[in-house]
């Protein structure tokens, strides 16, 4: 990008600091990966522009750079000094934390839904309305026939392309994830029986309840990685605080408060 470039070595350094879930996300989303690289290139381009004008030599910028350098070195050194105990957290601690916080892992009732959607915006013209109504009428006749295949009809009729390819299946939803009108409709549905056509502001929705799950709790096996990450993060932060406390105890600070107060007053003039 002009004089700015990102080399293999630059990318390796940037990616080395990423968490596994971030790497996975970018691996599966090339556009996101491209955005990250473009953002890095823009940053490099701005640095080039600033350096050409010797912006880094301005007193306030030089002071900020020195402060940022000191903060980075100190934080990096502190992180390197802290070591978590081998095997932390223990299985017994993970189980204890799970048991004591079980309410936070509660899951609401969930519904596995399929849908056939006939699009008809509120501002549709007369010809679009007529075409949509004819399409809906044809669909309803086929749904009413014996042995009607909801999934096949979804692939044939539904205007929600991605969902249509899956036979109309939306997946698992909680009540909070549904529009109020759809939530009310689903509440009265029998499993496996298509609903009546529900007219909303974007068109008609015909729903089918495939399965339900009662309220419950996420099992320990499912939340264990999350618990381990949280416990290790909290333990690491606590160990860093202890290290700093020991440092302060071993080498107590000596501060000339009068001089500091004068410097602070001078900075306000």
pLDDT one-digit tens code per residue, 182-236: 999 999 999 999 999 999 999 999 999 999 999 999 999 999 999 999 999 999 9
Report the mean per-residue pLDDT for the chain. Answer: 94
Centroid of chain to Cα 21: 10
- Show the domains of the chain with their CATH numbers: 109-214 (3.10.50.40)
**Cα gap 268→262, rounded to integer Å:** 10
pLDDT of residue 66: 97
pLDDT of residue 177: 95
pLDDT of residue 269: 79
**Cα gap 158→57, rounded to integer Å:** 63
pLDDT of residue 178: 95
Give the pLDDT band of residue 63 (cuts 50, 70, 90).
very high
Mean pLDDT of the 52-81 span? 96
pLDDT one-digit tens code per residue, 228-263: 999 999 999 999 999 999 999 999 999 999 999 999
How many Cβ atoms are within 10 Å of 39's Cβ, its own excluded?
10
Write a three-state SS string for the chain.
Answer: CCCCCCCHHHHHHHHHCCCHHHHHHHHHCHHHHHHHHHHHHHHHHHHHHHHHCCHHHCHHHHHHHHHHHHHHHHHHHHHHHCCCCCCCCCHHHHHHHHHHCHHHHEECCEEEEEEEEEECCCCCCHHHHHHHHHHHHHHHHHHHCCCCCHHHHHHHHCCCHHHHHCCCEEEEEEHHHCCHHHHHHHHCCCCCCCCCCEEECCEEEEEEEEEEECCEECCHHHHHHHHHHHHHHHHHHHHHHHHHHHHHHHCCCCCCHHHHHHHHHHHCC
pLDDT of residue 132: 95
pLDDT of residue 3: 85
pLDDT one-digit tens code per residue, 73-100: 999 999 999 999 899 999 999 999 999 9
Give the pLDDT band of residue 22 (cuts 50, 70, 90).
confident
Strands 203-213 and 198-200: antiparallel
More confident residue, 238 or 17: 238
**Cα gap 181→119, rounded to integer Å:** 16
Q: pLDDT above 70 covers what percent of the chain?
A: 100
* Matching residue, tokens 């968490």: 19
Kindly compute the dihedral angle of the four CA atoms of residues 34, 40, 42, 46, in this order, to the nearest 10 degrees.
180
Judged against a pLDDT cut of 90, whether residue 157 lies above it is answered with yes
Judged against a pLDDT cut of 80, whether residue 17 lies above it is answered with no
- Tokens, residue 133: 């109504």
- Tokens, residue 30: 């090339």
pLDDT of residue 268: 87
Judged against a pLDDT cut of 80, whether residue 19 lies above it is answered with no
Please name every residue paired with 209 in a beta bridge, in sequence order, or none if there are none.
113
Are the C-beta atoms of 142 and 206 separated by less than 8 Å? no
Nearest partner of 7 among 29, 33, 37, 30, judged by Cα = 37
pLDDT one-digit tens code per residue, 110-122: 999 999 999 999 8
Query: Whats the size of the chain, residue-wise?
Result: 269
pLDDT of residue 15: 86
Judged against a pLDDT cut of 90, whether residue 14 lies above it is answered with no
Judged against a pLDDT cut of 80, whether residue 130 lies above it is answered with yes
């Amino acid at each position: 990008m002009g004089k700015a470039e990102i080399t293999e070595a630059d990318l390796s350094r940037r990616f080395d600091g990423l968490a596994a879930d971030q790497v996975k996300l970018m691996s599966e989303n090339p556009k996101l990966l491209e955005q990250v690289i473009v953002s890095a290139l823009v940053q490099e381009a701005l640095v080039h522009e600033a350096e050409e004008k010797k912006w880094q030599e301005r007193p306030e910028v030089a002071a900020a750079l020195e402060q940022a350098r000191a903060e980075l070195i100190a934080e990096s050194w502190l992180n390197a000094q802290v070591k978590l105990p081998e095997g932390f957290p223990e299985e017994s601690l993970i189980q204890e934390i799970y048991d004591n916080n079980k309410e936070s892992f509660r899951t609401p009732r969930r519904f596995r839904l399929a849908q056939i959607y006939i699009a008809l915006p509120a501002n549709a013209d007369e010809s679009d309305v007529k075409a949509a109504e004819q399409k809906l009428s044809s669909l309803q006749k086929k749904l009413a026939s014996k042995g009607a295949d909801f999934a096949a009809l979804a692939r044939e009729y539904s205007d929600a392309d991605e969902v249509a390819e899956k036979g109309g299946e939306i997946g698992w939803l909680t009540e909070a994830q549904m529009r109020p009108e759809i939530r009310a409709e689903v509440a009265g549905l029998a499993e496996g029986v298509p609903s009546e056509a529900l007219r909303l502001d974007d068109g008609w929705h015909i729903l089918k309840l495939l399965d339900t799950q009662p309220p419950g709790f996420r099992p320990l096996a499912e939340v264990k990685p999350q618990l381990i990450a949280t416990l290790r993060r909290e333990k690491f932060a606590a160990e860093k605080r202890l290290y700093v406390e020991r440092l302060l105890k071993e080498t107590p600070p000596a501060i000339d408060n009068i001089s500091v107060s004068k410097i602070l007053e001078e900075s306000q003039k």
